[in-house]
Chains A and B, each alone.
Chain A
Amino acid sequence: MLFRYEPIVFDELFSRTAPVEWAFPDLLARFAAANRTNDYPSVNVAEDKDGVQVVAEIPGVPKEDVKLQLHDGTLTISGERKSPENADNVEVLRREIRYGSFSRTIQLPESVDAEKVTADYANGVLRIALPKREAAKPKEISIR
């Protein structure tokens, strides 16, 4: 395996609606935040002969609050999801969305060309295209 792929656990973890979640939304959110190590945001990673594509789901986070960093063969997606401004006297009935800072690091194949990485963001989805260096691509050799 050239890159690490962690299964997406976010959906599983937060789609449960145990009564305890309704009763103590704050407590559970804090517990979840403490447990948040390297599983957020959810990512899909795929590789083909031309490059690696990373798709990360970061709903509710404006582009300006996301940082992408390439370092030593790794890609780090970090940022902060800010809690929406609340009026006074808000009663929380359900809280499954997590707020706060996040960071996730993905190991990249060595063949990625750091100079040619592009990223675009739309509707809460970040797409990062990491093309491979020309030298790393498979080459067809013609037979004379």
Chain B
Amino acid sequence: MTKEIEKEKINGEEPSTASTVRVLRPAVDIQELADSFVVRLDIPGAEKESIAAQIDKSTLTVSAKVQDRFKRESGIVYDGSLPTEYRREFALADDVETQTVDAAYELGVLKITLKKKQQFLPKEIKIK
């Protein structure tokens, strides 16, 4: 199995959906390269510090909190201004190297690069 499968639930629990926080699943692109996987998630409006990405055993969890879309001082009250939490979980396949993960946030897009384990890389065999 070389493809990532997304888990809808973790331990049978849905992500918390308290009435004061809107929980969204960010759109994702996943690409497989020869030696790595590249995961891109749309998380507009987050600060780098508010994004958390972690790998627990074979689950990659990405979450981020985003503050109001509207500036409060303008006195605008509107339900689109609810704080938003982005959250998505991925089950990682056996070929993913979980020790060296690279993540970068730019222009509202979180890019995570997961290397493949050495033993799963294609090997060239010399012909004598």
Query: Which residue numbers of A lie inside 8 Å of B, CB to CB?
Result: 11, 14-15, 17, 44, 46-51, 53, 55, 57-62, 84, 86-87, 89-97, 122-125, 127
A87 CA to B38 CA in the complex, in Å? 11
A89 CA / B35 CA spacing, docked (Å): 11
Known: A11-B24, A92-B30. 10 other contacts (CB 8 A): A44-B78, A51-B74, A53-B74, A55-B69, A59-B108, A60-B108, A87-B33, A123-B107, A123-B108, A124-B107
- B residues touching A (Cβ–Cβ < 8 Å)? 3-4, 6, 24-25, 27-34, 37, 40, 42-47, 69-71, 74-76, 78, 80-81, 105, 107-109
B29 touches A95 (CB 8 A): yes
Complex contact B6–A17 (CB within 8 A): yes
Q: Residue on B with the closest CB to A62?
A: B107
Given contacts A89-B33, A96-B29, A125-B44, contact A44 B70 (CB under 8 A): yes
What is the CB-to-nearest-CB distance from A43 to chain B, in angstroms, rounded to a whole number? 9
A46 near B108 with CB under 8 A, answer: no
The chain B residue with its CB closest to the CB of A51 is B74
Q: Quick one: which of A47, A49, A58 contacts B44, CB cutoff 8 A? A: A58
**Cβ-defined contact, B31 with A59, below 8 A:** no
User: Which residue of chain B has the shortest Cβ distance to A99 in the bound complex?
Assistant: B29
